[in-house]
Amino acid sequence: MRVLAWRLVLLAAGLVAWELASDRLLPAFYISRPSAIAGRLVQAFASGAIVPHLATTLVEMVVGFSIGLPLGIAVGLLLGTFRFSARVFQPFIILLYSIPLLALAPLFILWFGVGWAPKIVLVAISVFFFVFFNTYVGARELDQDLVASLRVMGANWGEVFRKVTLPASVVWIFTGVKIAAPYALAGAVVGEMLVSRSGLGLLLMQATQMNDMAALYAVLLVIMVLGILASEAAERSERLVLRRQGRTAGG
Amino acid sequence: MAEPAIVLRDVTQVFPGRGAAREVIALEGVSLAVAAQEFVALVGPSGCGKSTVLNLVAGLWPPTRGEVRCTGRPVTGVNTRVGYMTQKDTLLPWRTTLANVGIALELKTRRATGWDRDRISRYIELVGLEGFEHHYPSQLSGGMRRRVALARTLIYEPETLLMDEPFGALDAQLKLVMQAELLRIWGETRNTVVFVTHDLGEAIALADRVVIFTGRPGQVKAVQPVDLPRPRDVFSIRFTPRYAELYEKLWGLLQTEVTKGESL
């Protein structure tokens, strides 16, 4: 409770300082002011003007996750289980991993147009890579003592996979999802900033072009909240799944 | 005459070097026979290849040279006639006690629902875990988790038990309790046991014979029968003169190996 109280005090102090500094220490043109930003936010939501843009970004995120997640899990488990293929693919994976994903945005826009598709691909690729990589490493480093003791009990490789690898992979998968969440959001927003007809990234660009600082900060705030919600959703679903498995997080 | 339950004939195990790691000769010319229903303890300095012996009997990989036989047949491939209890915790964290013990039957019968609840209950009772059937490993103490692992190893009634420092991670008191439990259970089940430990006292208190290994490369240095009467009380046996005598003799043999390894 005391920690929370101090945090609120700190936040309030920061906002007041920002409000007072505006046009006194620094021109409001650059830093805007909290009251103006709050006003913009209320207006954006009250008029519903922001809703289609928010929906666009959300849909891109959700669809991108639904494509990237299962693919990442499948390829991660596959390469992590079959050592030989993992060794064959290793250099190619590192090659692809070395490209900053956002640098692929122009390419995807050329390939997939200006609509939702390139953003969905950017989200999906971010999710895919982090989930794939974590699942792959997890499956590769599966406790060999555990595997050996089940093998001696008569388990064949299929049973080891079903009864050990698969249930154990939950932790690795969620680690990947949690790391991927901010990158996925960045993928969607940057994609929209480059070229699009709708989305929070587009709003950012419009605000910048019109020198509308209050709107710019307001949209940033919305993106921030979206990022927190995405991480929180990943965190909560992990705890839920682990509890259903009888485990506590980290256990 | 019947063949011993476990036979190692002139077994050498070489682990090839990889990258900067040098080739390691874990075992060199090891011959060993364990009679059916015998309790044999393998003792030696760390890295002397004691665990490798168990892995070879379990058939996790073939030896570089030599032959390994188990209950009259050569070991080729994973040996499902043994129960293997490792030092590390190998319970599945997402399964309750019941399901962790049951997995052994699940794998033997190849049916997820083919559980014999009575049998599982009997073994959970045997290791003294009644009332903890629906607990997950994270809700159990270290000693209890060992008991679950023991029940899981025993439930499919393997003729041979391989135990790799099964109580190594427990504190001294709990270790004694688990040793007493193991002897009590073994008195009922009478499996052949190969028990790896670096605790000489544990080896003498439990085993019919103690095998002392040299430091790397592991070779059999001495085999000492333990003529202490059974049933044994692991608590008080340590104060008998014969125990002290055996301990002194074996420690003399072991000490040179341990210090040799240390001075490297």
Token code pair at residue B186: 């073994």
pLDDT band at A251 (very low <50, low <70, confident <90, very high): very low
Please give the pLDDT value at position B166.
Answer: 92
Whether B37 is covered by a domain: the verdict is yes
Count Cβ–Cβ pairs < 8 Å, chain A vs chain B: 65
The residues of chain B scoring below 50 in pLDDT are none
Residue of A nearest to B60 (CA): A148
Strand B192-197's sheet: what is its strand order?
B82-85, B160-164, B192-197, B39-43, B209-213, B220-225
Tens digit of pLDDT for each residue in A69-107?
Answer: 999 999 999 998 887 888 888 898 888 888 888 899 999
Q: What is the pLDDT of residue B41?
A: 97
**Nearest chain A residue (CA) to B57:** A152
Question: Coil, strand or helix: which one is B61?
Answer: coil
A152 and B82 within 8 Å at the Cβ level: the answer is yes
Residue B128's closest CA among B155, B150, B157? B150
Rounded CA gap, A17 and A28, in Å?
13
Q: List the single best residue of A142, A152, A244 to mutate versus B (max B Cβ within 10 A).
A: A152
Whether pLDDT at A67 is above 90: yes
Does B166 fall in a domain? Answer: no
Centre a 10 Å sphere on the Cβ of residue A215 and count the other Cβ atoms it contains: 23
Q: How many Cβ atoms are within 10 Å of A63's Cβ, its own excluded?
A: 17
Three-state SS string over A213-245 comes to HHHHHHHHHHHHHHHHHHHHHHHHHHHHHHHHC
Q: Which two tokens stand for residue B54?
A: 């168990």
Residue A246 to residue B94, Cβ atoms within 8 A: yes
A31 contacts A173 by C-beta, under 8 angstroms: no
Domain containing B203: what range? Answer: 1-80+192-264
Q: What are the boundaries of each domain within chain A?
A: 31-244
| Any domain includes B125 | no
Question: Which residues of chain A approach chain B closer than 8 Å at the C-beta?
Answer: 143, 145-146, 148-155, 159, 163-164, 167, 245-248, 251
Burial class (CB in 10 A: 0-12, 13-18, 19+), B207: buried
**Does a structural domain hold residue B56?**
yes
Q: Tokens standing for A140? A: 């590769």
Q: Residue B196 in 3-state DSSP?
A: strand
pLDDT digits (tens, 9 = 90+) for B36-76: 999 999 999 887 889 999 999 999 999 999 999 999 899 99
**Interface test with chain A among B56, B95, B107, B136, by most A beta carbons within 10 Å:** B107
Strands B209-213 and B39-43: parallel
B194 and A CB contact within 8 Å:
no
**Which pLDDT does position B110 carry in this prediction?**
64
B227 within a domain of the structure (yes/no)? yes
Give the CA distances from residue A107 to residues A70, A121, A186, in Å, rounded to whole numbers and listed in that order: 24, 11, 16
Contacts of B133 in chain A (CB under 8 A): none
pLDDT at res. B6? 95
Residue B170 forms part of a structural domain: no
Q: pLDDT at position A145, please?
A: 86
Buried b (16+ CB within 10 A) or exposed e, B233-257: ebeebeeeeebeebbeebbebbeeb
**Would you say residue B32 lies in a domain?**
yes
Measured CA to CA, the distance from residue B235 to residue B173 in angstroms comes to: 10
Q: Which two tokens mark A69?
A: 């997640």
Question: Inter-chain contact B86–A148, Cβ cutoff 8 Å?
Answer: yes
- Answer yes or no: do B107 and A154 touch at CB < 8 A: yes
% of chain A exceeding 90 in pLDDT: 76
Structural domain count of chain B:
1
The predicted pLDDT at position A89 comes to 86
Question: Residue B28 corresponds to which tokens in the numbers above?
Answer: 């060199």
Q: In sequence order, which residues have a C-beta less than 8 Å from that of residue A32 and are 6 or more positions away?
A: A22, A213, A214, A216, A217
- What's the pLDDT score for residue A249? 46
Superfamily designation of domain A31-244: MetI-like (1.10.3720.10)
Tokens of A87: 């060794």
User: B201 in a domain, yes or no?
Assistant: yes
CB A172 within 8 A of CB B107: no
What is the reported pLDDT for A70? 97
Q: What's the CA dihedral at B196, B202, B208, B214 to 10 degrees? A: 50
Is the Cβ of B108 closer than 8 Å to some Cβ of chain A? Answer: yes
Per-residue confidence band for A110, with pLDDT thresholds at 50, 70 and 90: very high
Contact list, B108 vs chain A (CB under 8 Å) = 153-154
Q: Which residues of A touch B93 (CB under 8 A)?
A: 245-247, 251
Could you tell me the end-to-end alpha-carbon distance of chain A, in angstroms, rounded to an integer?
Answer: 27
What ranges in A141-212 are assigned the alpha helix state H?
Answer: 144-152, 157-160, 166-194, 200-209
Amino acid type, A244: R
Which whole-number Å values give the CA distances from A184 to A61, A155, A220, A223, in the listed order? 7, 39, 16, 12
The separation between the first and the last C-alpha atoms of chain B, rounded to the nearest angstrom, is 45
Residue of B nearest to A147 (CA): B90
Q: Which residue of A has its CA nearest to B150?
A: A149
Whether ipTM tops 0.90, in short, is no
The alpha carbon of residue A182 is apart from the nearest alpha carbon of chain B, in Å, by 29
Query: CA A108, CA A100: separation in Å to the nearest integer?
Result: 14
- Give every CB contact of residue A169 below 8 A, 6+ residues apart in sequence: A73, A76, A77, A135, A138, A139
- Find chain B residues with C-beta within 8 A of A164's C-beta: 92
| Interface test with chain A among B90, B110, B136, B160, by most A beta carbons within 10 Å | B90
C-beta atoms of B84 and A149 within 8 A: yes
CATH number of the domain where residue B61 is located: 3.40.50.300
pTM (two decimals):
0.82
- Supply B98's token pair: 């019941």
Q: Are B39 and B195 in contact (CB under 8 A)?
A: yes
Residues facing B197 on adjacent strands: B43
Which of B90, B93, B106 lies nearest to residue A149, judging by beta carbons?
A: B90
